[in-house]
Amino acid sequence: MRRLQAGTLRAAVHGLICAAALCVGLAQAAPPLTPSVCSRELSVGWDSWPPYHYLSARQQLDGYSVAVLNEAARRTGCRLNYQQMPWPRTLLSLKNGLVDLAMEALKTPERESFARFVWAYSPTTVRLWGLRSHVAQWPTHRLEDLGKHGKLILGVTRGDSYGTNIDAWLKQPPPTVSVDIGPTLDINVQKLRAKRLDLLLANSATMRAALQAQATEPEVVPLAPVWNTGGAYFIFSKSSVPRPVVEAFQQALTGMRRDGSIQALYQQHFEAPYPEE
C-alpha cells in the first residue's frame, strides 16, 4: 500500500546504520547480536508514507517500518542505506536488482516473481473513504455494492496493492465504476475533497495520517467495510540479495516477535496493542 507525500528530501539518506543512535526506538548504540551475514550494505527504497516511513520534524527518517527494519538489521549485523524514490520506481529497481529491499509491501503474484517476502510484520486494513456530506449516496457493505450506485469515480494510488480480491476486482470493475489512478495518496485526498472523486480506496493507517496532515474541511470519513489484507512484508530483490541474508532477516523478525520487540514498537508508533492473529 502507498503513499502520502510528507517530506521534501530528494537525496538518498546514506549510511543509516542500525546500531547507531539515529535508529528509531533505540536510545543508544548497540552492537550486532550475531556476526554479519551481509558482505555489503543493503539499499532500502522508501518514499514518504506515514506512519510507516517518513521524515520527522527533525528531518530524520522515522516510522514503524523503519524502526522494525533497523532493529532486524542490527540483529543480523547488516548496514542499511535508505534511498528515497517513488514507490513504483522502488518496485522496478527491486525487479532489476538496483535496490535490495523495500518496506510495507503486500504480497502479489507479480511481486513474488522478483522478490522474496519476509514475514507479514505489519497488520494492514483497507477501507473506502468519502466526504461525510456525500457518503449517504454510497451505501456499501461489500465491494460488489459499488456497482449498484450508478456512475461512480473510485480513486486508487499508482503502484499500490489493496489485497488479492480487491486487486482482481479493480482490473474488471463494473461498467458504472470508473477507476481513477492518482500518483500519490495526498493528491487523491485533495481530489476527493474537490469532488473529482466520489470514493477513495486507501490503507486505514496511512489515510488517517494523510487526513491529519491536510485541511480538516470538507470532512472525510470511512465507509462501513473493512478489508483485512493479511499484513505487509519486507521484500528483498531476488536479483541482488542472497537467500541466506533473507533467511537471517526472517530469523531476526521471528525473534523480535517472540521477545515482544515487534509488539512494543507497534505500541510506540500506533498507541494501540499489536493486533495478534
More confident residue, 101 or 29: 101
Does 167 score more than 60 pLDDT? yes
Does 8 score more than 80 pLDDT? no
Which range (5-9, 118-122, 193-197, 241-245) has the least confidence?
Answer: 5-9
pLDDT band, very low/low/confident/very high, at 216 (cuts 50, 70, 90): confident
Measured distance CA(9)–CA(91) in Å, rounded? 19
DSSP string spanning 104-143?
EE---HHHHTTEEEEEEEE--EEEEEEETTTGGG---SSG
Q: Give the per-residue pLDDT at 16.
A: 36
Does 3 score more than 60 pLDDT? no
More confident residue, 125 or 9: 125
Q: Give the per-residue pLDDT at 206.
A: 87
Give the pLDDT mean for 194-205. 93
DSSP string spanning 12-52?
-BTT--TTSTTSTT-SS----SS----SSPEEEEE--BTTT
Q: Give the per-residue pLDDT at 275.
A: 77
Domains in the chain (CATH in brackets) are 42-123+230-270 (3.40.190.10), 125-229 (3.40.190.10)
Does 154 score more than 50 pLDDT? yes
Residue 26 zone, left/alpha/beta (φ > 0; ψ -120 to 50; rest): beta
pLDDT band, very low/low/confident/very high, at 214 (cuts 50, 70, 90): confident
pTM higher than 0.75 for the full model?
Answer: no
Of all helices (H) and strands (E), which one includes residue 261? helix 261-270
Give the pLDDT mean for 13-20. 35
Does 12 score more than 60 pLDDT? no
pLDDT band, very low/low/confident/very high, at 28 (cuts 50, 70, 90): very low
Mean pLDDT of the chain: 85
Q: Give the per-residue pLDDT at 32.
A: 56
pLDDT band, very low/low/confident/very high, at 43 (cuts 50, 70, 90): very high
C-alpha 143: how far from its chain's center? 22
Give the pLDDT mean for 89-103. 97
Q: What is the CB neighbour count within 10 angstroms for residue 154? A: 19
Of all helices (H) and strands (E), which one includes residue 227? strand 220-228
Q: Give the per-residue pLDDT at 230.
A: 77
DSSP string spanning 61-92?
EESHHHHHHHHHHHHHT--EEEEE--HHHHHH
Q: Give the per-residue pLDDT at 19.
A: 33
Q: Give the per-residue pLDDT at 277.
A: 53
Which range (60-64, 180-184, 212-216) has the least confidence?
Answer: 212-216
